[in-house]
Structure 1
Amino acid sequence: MSTSLPPRSLGVGRVLIAVYAILALAATARSVVQIIEDFDAAPVAYALSALSGVVYIVATVALVRPGLVWYRIAWATISFELLGVLVVGTLSIFDQELFPSDSVWSFYGSGYLFIPLVLPVLGMIWLYGRRPAVTTDQVVAPA
């Protein structure tokens, strides 16, 4: 049994990867500045910004790299991203004391034009369209 993966860095994939790369840079840079300048003011928010930066970096790399393992890593990071945006977005609305300062995922990514909310959904749709095609080289008869 072998698997074949369509290339992920062509066409719309390039745009998706570019947006992930920009978000990775923005989230990471923002978190570094926040942590250096004022970590004590909002440690949860700033730590989550750092986490989101790491998630975006790994997702970007996974989207660029070929192969089944990277395809699965892309799914895992993008799924984690969506879960993070939904959980942090909801918590930031209902427990504003936990988030005295915004993180990338606060208020569902409103500080980033809701791109953190929309991007993982688009990424999942796009990845689904590039799922591995499983082929069998041999037909195995039941024993």
Structure 2
Amino acid sequence: MADRKVGPAQVILAGYTLFVVAASARCAVQLITHPARAPLAYALSGVAALVYTIGLILLSRSNRNPDQPRTPALVCCGVELLGVAAVGSWTVLDPAAFPDATVWSRFGSGYGFVPVLLPVLTGWWLSREREGVGR
């Protein structure tokens, strides 16, 4: 049996996989059970699911092929962090606009703030990988 190491790449990919499922499921359940109650929140959960899916694909590609450029994955992390910051701020400043939470509400507080930490840690890791520190 092959000895498999669990390193930062595997942990990050697992995190993105988990959030693809969590954000997609949250959006689907919300839209199926009560679509008219908070359409903005549900749409933003769908956007989060899409961003996590794109991030997972880009990170998987760069993890499998070390020569793959990491810039697209870094850009995706930036978009993700911007989304978490924007939605997180909006939900704090105008909670009445969000009768139901999104994945990124209050900076991901419903998910232990992982939504705000994941792009930061991933961006840091990708930057270290680019410099050859993590290889």
The interval holding the TM-score normalised by the smaller chain is 0.7 to 0.9
Q: Which of 8, 13, 19 is matched with 2:15 structurally?
A: 19
Structure 1 segments of 4+ aligned residues over 3 angstroms from their partners: none
The 2-side partners of 1:48 and 1:23 are apart by 14
The 2-side partners of 1:76 and 1:98 are apart by 29
The CA deviation at 1:12 is: 1.1
The CA deviation at 1:121 is: 0.6
Matched, 1:93 2:89: no
Instruction: Write out aligned runs for 1:103-114 (5 A).
Output: 103-114=102-113
The 2-side partners of 1:127 and 1:26 are apart by 23
Structure 2 equivalent of residue 137 of structure 1: none
Q: What's the Cα RMSD here?
A: 1.6
Structure 1 gap segments, 5+ residues each: 1-9, 134-143
Q: Which of 40, 45, 61 is matched with 1:44 structurally?
A: 40
Percent identical residues: 40
Structure 1 equivalent of residue 3 of structure 2: none
Q: TM-score, normalised by structure 2?
A: 0.85
Cα deviation 1:83-121 (Å, max 9, x = unaligned): 111111111011112111100000000110100011111
The 2-side partners of 1:108 and 1:58 are apart by 20
Matched, 1:73 2:72: yes
Q: TM-score, normalised by structure 1?
A: 0.81
Q: Which letter maps to 2:125?
A: W
The structure where strand makes up a greater share of residues is 1
Structure 1 equivalent of residue 55 of structure 2: 59
Cα deviation 1:22-48 (Å, max 9, x = unaligned): 111111111111112212111111000
The CA deviation at 1:11 is: 2.0
The structure where helix makes up a greater share of residues is 2
Find the residue that maps to 1:101 and give its secondary structure.
Answer: coil
The 1-side partners of 2:99 and 2:21 are apart by 23
Q: Name the count of aligned residue pairs.
A: 123
| Structure ranking higher on relative contact order (CA contacts 8 Å, 6+ apart) | 1
